């Protein structure tokens, strides 16, 4: 069976460019003074300079981490140390759990919720008004949502924060590698993870100030901001993947793929009456479709049945079968728990073709037929 992978938002397949980069990784510990170690250190420096140029920030602001989860923990750990004890953090309920959980740990009782509309967008008008009334110690707003693909107005938020003198943290795990990276570096803090754009799992980075207080204490690596021998192969592989993605972005290849996504959504809602696209009115990533499926007892049933038909898709969140909580993102957008339990996520990659989207449509149609749902064409 021809298998179709539509779960890039979960983890993108490893790129061939990564394998080539891994063949040439210098050995040695980058902290060692001998020439072999220093070659590894120089390779890290070069990667840091490349990434900084891509983002529009200074190389010394980049800290290599084990992924976006460690990076967000580091950012919030640092913010908790430098912000005054009464300072608030403004954050929405639609952030990733790796941002929400440390925010709750470090700023319990000091979190203020950013209003989010039914389309998943944060209310910029509210933000502008409230910043004038009394700014927080930190604003947290992700670039693109992992469950819905909704693109937040992070550039505008960054500008408002800059004007108000408020530090701004942007989780760019779903944006980087899919849309242009320029200006992401205007955020005071930034994080991302390599496996979301075709690099290996277990490596990522944070953009943080030079005086960031370390969360991992150890050998003083990363200018004392993150102890532990750097993952040299991981970092070089991550940059090989990011460079490969950047080349496709320069050719505007994402524009055509957004058309393919729209066409799929159009056909899906026509084919299965009762299906709705979550965040349909908002700007969204070219690869992500969050679909509220017709009534079914559990979204997990769809995932298992579609898998049997050769399509790897995701619920985008925990299954709402009663054992696990419904998606906090969908609840945060105002969906009921029952509706949140009907949502599936289809997230394509750069290699996904219109024929793949059509095969998914055919599989959805078959599964709907098996479930005796809607009115499959
Ligand atoms: N932020 C977002 C938006 C994500 O989608 C993810 C991954 O699911 C993360 C952060 C965490 O990334 P990782 O699990 O690689 O640390």
Average pLDDT, the chain: 94
Output the pLDDT for position 323: 53
Give the nearest ligand 1 atom to 9 CA.
5
For residue 26, how many other CB atoms are within 10 A of its CB? 18
Record the pTM.
0.95
pLDDT, tens digit, 9 for 90 and up, residues 305-344 = 999 999 999 986 544 344 567 899 999 999 999 899 899 9
Which residues surround ligand 1 with Cβ inside 6 Å? Answer: 67-69, 96, 98, 142, 146, 171, 173-174, 193, 195
Catalytic residue list contains 319 = yes
pLDDT, tens digit, 9 for 90 and up, residues 95-137 = 999 999 999 999 999 999 999 999 999 999 999 999 999 999 9
Question: Rounded to 5 degrees, what are φ and ψ at 290?
Answer: -110, 115
- Looking at ligand 1, which residue's alpha carbon is closest to its atom 2? 173
What percentage of the chain reaches a pLDDT higher than 70?
96
Output the pLDDT for position 317: 59
The helix/strand/coil state of 291 is: strand
Give the nearest ligand 1 atom to 69 CA.
16
- Pocket probe for ligand 1: among 66, 151, 174, 287, the residue whose CB has the most ligand atoms within 8 Å is 174
pLDDT, tens digit, 9 for 90 and up, residues 223-281 = 999 999 999 999 999 999 999 999 999 888 999 999 999 999 999 999 999 999 999 99
Give the nearest ligand 1 atom to 145 CA.
3
Closest CA to 268 of 338, 347, 360, 340: 360
For residue 328, give Cα distances in angstroms to 111, 183, 337, 347: 16, 29, 9, 19
């Amino acid at each position: 069976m021809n298998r179709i992978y539509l779960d890039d938002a979960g983890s993108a397949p490893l790129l061939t460019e990564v394998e080539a980069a891994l063949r040439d990784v210098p050995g040695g510990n980058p902290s060692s003074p001998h020439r072999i170690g220093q070659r590894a250190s120089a390779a890290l420096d070069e990667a840091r300079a490349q990434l900084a140029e891509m983002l529009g920030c200074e190389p010394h602001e980049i800290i290599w981490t084990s992924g976006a989860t460690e990076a967000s923990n580091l950012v919030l750990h640092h913010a908790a140390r430098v912000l005054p004890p009464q300072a608030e953090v403004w954050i929405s309920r639609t952030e990733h759990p790796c941002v929400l959980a440390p925010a709750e740990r470090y700023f319990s009782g000091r979190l203020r919720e950013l209003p989010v509309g039914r389309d998943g967008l944060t209310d910029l008008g509210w933000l502008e008004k409230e910043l004038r009334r009394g700014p927080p110690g930190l604003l947290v707003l992700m670039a693109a949502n992992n469950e819905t693909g909704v693109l937040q107005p992070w550039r505008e938020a960054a500008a408002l924060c800059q004007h108000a003198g408020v530090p701004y943290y942007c989780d760019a795990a779903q944006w980087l590698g899919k849309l242009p990276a320029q200006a992401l570096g205007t955020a005071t803090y930034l994080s991302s993870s390599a496996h979301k754009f075709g690099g290996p799992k277990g490596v990522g980075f944070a953009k943080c100030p030079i005086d960031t207080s370390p969360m991992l204490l150890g050998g003083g690596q990363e200018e004392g901001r993150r102890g532990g021998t750097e993952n040299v192969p991981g970092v070089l592989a991550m940059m090989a993947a990011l460079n490969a993605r950047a080349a496709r972005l320069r050719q505007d290849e994402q524009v055509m793929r957004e058309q393919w996504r729209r066409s799929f959504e159009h056909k899906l809602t026509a084919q299965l009456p009762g299906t709705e696209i979550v965040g349909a009115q908002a700007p969204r990533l070219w690869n992500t479709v969050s679909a509220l499926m017709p009534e079914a007892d559990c979204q997990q049933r769809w995932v298992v049945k579609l898998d049997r038909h050769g399509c790897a898709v995701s619920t985008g969140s925990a299954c709402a079968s009663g054992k696990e909580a419904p998606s906090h993102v969908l609840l945060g957008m105002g969906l009921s728990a029952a509706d949140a339990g009907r949502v599936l996520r289809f997230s394509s990659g750069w290699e996904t073709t219109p024929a793949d989207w059509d095969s998914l449509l055919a599989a959805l149609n078959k599964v709907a037929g098996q479930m005796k749902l809607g009115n499959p064409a």
